[in-house]
Amino acid sequence: MSTNPDTTKTHCGLIAIVGRPNVGKSTLLNHLLKQKLSITSRKPQTTRHRILGISSDQQHQCIYVDTPGLHANQEKTLNRVMNDTVVSVVNDVDVILFLIEKTNFNEGDKRVLELLKNTKTPVLLLINKIDLVKDKNTLLPHIDKLAKQHDFVEIVPVSALGGHNLENIENLVKNYLPESEFLFPEDQITDRSSRFLAAELIREKVTRQLGDELPYEVTVEIEKFQQEGAVLHIHGLILVDKPGQKRIVVGKDGDRLKRIGSSAREDMEAAFETKVMLNLWVKVKSGWADDERALQSLGYMD
């Protein structure tokens, strides 16, 4: 009787990446996929959408779900929509990766943990930015303390940016995937369109260029996305909440908008593997972050 494992069976499942804002979830997704999919910046709450990142080998399809950071401020409709996204995701996946930072465990982390205590889904706790912990002797007591907070199936120190222990994470995740046919073609890496990715790349450059100068109320709408011969023509509309914000984005003599466009175009050409002609405009759309119809049209609500 043969004892060889059945190599014809395939496993496929959803893996949520959750955590408080700005803890490194999008960086982790990008490094697990070995390519850039989710935008990143030092500004909290850069990720606003549920984004699927798909990694496939012959027998496993890992569908990672990058989620917005769970946060306390729910003053605006956009904030509530993002929190609702996190709640719905953790109740509809096969595995959860809960990301925290170094030896910190603050109120934001506790809020996420309270949410996870209401689910029966296996939770792997990932301690990110482990390479930045100066005194490694503090790590084991910290892990012991965390182990008492919840019945985590694994606690793993990682560095999302440095790539430390990520291969181990991939192998651990595969143990929890149910036997199933693949949900996506093997060569597909996301459920999002190229048009969506273009808008996100522009928003990333706006966020990185402006940092704390610009409040949270900025988003991007793609008005044209069309391949014409060897060139992909993209028209992007940067929406802000107030006239003063428009002046900040445009900059003196339009210099800042040009830098945003140049940087976004470079990333687009790498992502879409074609020459890109990018045109950007800035428009004031007051109250868009608190307007359900506007959020629906901008793709924030499924």
CATH assignment of the domain containing 146: 3.40.50.300
Among residues 174, 206, 223, which one ends one of the domains?
174
| pLDDT score for 302 | 53
Q: In terms of domains, do 38 and 116 share one? A: yes
Structure-block tokens of residue 207: 């966020």
pLDDT confidence tier of residue 292, bands split at 50, 70 and 90: low
Tell me, yes or no, whether 185 lies in a domain: no
Q: Is 64 exposed, middle or buried (0-12, 13-18, 19+ CB in 10 A)?
A: buried
What is the helix (H) or strand (E) element at residue 127, kind and residue range? strand 123-128
Asked if residue 61 is part of any domain, the answer here is: yes
Q: What is the pLDDT of residue 288?
A: 62
CA 267 to chain centre: 17
Write phi, then psi, for 229 (nearest 5 degrees). Answer: 65, -125
Residue 208, judged by CB atoms within 10 A of its CB (0-12, 13-18, 19+), counts as: middle
Same domain, 198 and 165: no
pLDDT higher than 90, residue 279? yes
Does residue 271 register a pLDDT over 60?
A: yes
The answer to whether residues 27 and 131 belong to one domain is yes
pTM of the entire structure? Answer: 0.71
In Å, what is the CA distance from 208 to each residue of 40, 41, 154, 219? 9, 6, 34, 13
Supply the mean pLDDT for the chain: 81
Same domain, 169 and 198: no
- For residue 138, being part of any structural domain is answered with yes
Could you read off the pLDDT of 164-175 as tens digits, one per residue? 888 899 999 999
Is position 18 within any domain? Answer: yes
Residue 167 lies in a domain: yes
Task: For the chain, give the percent of residues with pLDDT over 90.
Answer: 33
What average pLDDT does the segment 153-168 reach? 86
Check whether residue 39 and residue 143 sit in a common domain: yes
Looking at the DSSP bridge assignments, the partners of residue 167 are none
204: in domain: yes
Which of 120, 146, 174 is the last residue before a domain boundary?
174
- Whether residues 170 and 227 share a domain: the answer is no
Asked if residue 159 and residue 53 are part of one domain, the reply reads: yes
Q: Are residues 130 and 54 in the same domain?
A: yes
Count of other CB atoms within 10 angstroms of residue 193: 12
Structure tokens given for 133: 């912990």
End position of a domain, from candidates 113, 139, 174: 174
- Indicate whether 144 and 272 sit together in one domain: no
Of 65-69, 179-183, 289-293, the one with minimum mean pLDDT is: 289-293
Q: What is the CATH number of the domain that holds 211?
A: 3.30.300.20
**Tens digits of per-residue pLDDT, 62-117?**
999 877 655 445 455 445 545 455 566 677 889 999 999 988 888 888 888 888 88
- Amino acid identity of residue 36, one-letter, is K
By residue range, what is the domain housing residue 91? 11-174
Listed residue (286, 294, 292, 300) closest to 217, CA to CA: 286
Q: Is residue 188 in some structural domain? A: no
- Structure confidence at residue 226 (pLDDT): 94
Q: What are the φ/ψ torsions at residue 124 (nearest 5 degrees)?
A: -100, 125
Same domain, 137 and 213: no
Predicted confidence (pLDDT) at residue 157 exceeds the cutoff of 80: yes
Predicted confidence (pLDDT) per residue in 199-255, tens digit: 888 988 888 888 766 655 678 889 999 999 999 999 999 988 888 889 989 989 999
**pLDDT tens by residue, 21-54:** 878 888 888 888 887 776 554 544 444 456 788 9
Amino acid (one-letter) located at 155:
I
Q: Does 238 lie in the same domain as 120?
A: no
The total number of structural domains in the chain stands at: 2
Kindly tell me if the per-residue pLDDT of 262 is higher than 50: yes
- Residue 237 CA from chain centroid, whole number: 22
Looking from the CA of 294 toward its CB, the CA atoms found within 13 Å total 18
Question: Same structural domain for residues 244 and 163?
Answer: no
Tell me, yes or no, whether 2 lies in a domain: no
Per DSSP bridges, beta strands 51-56 and 60-66 are antiparallel
Give pLDDT, residue 39. Answer: 55
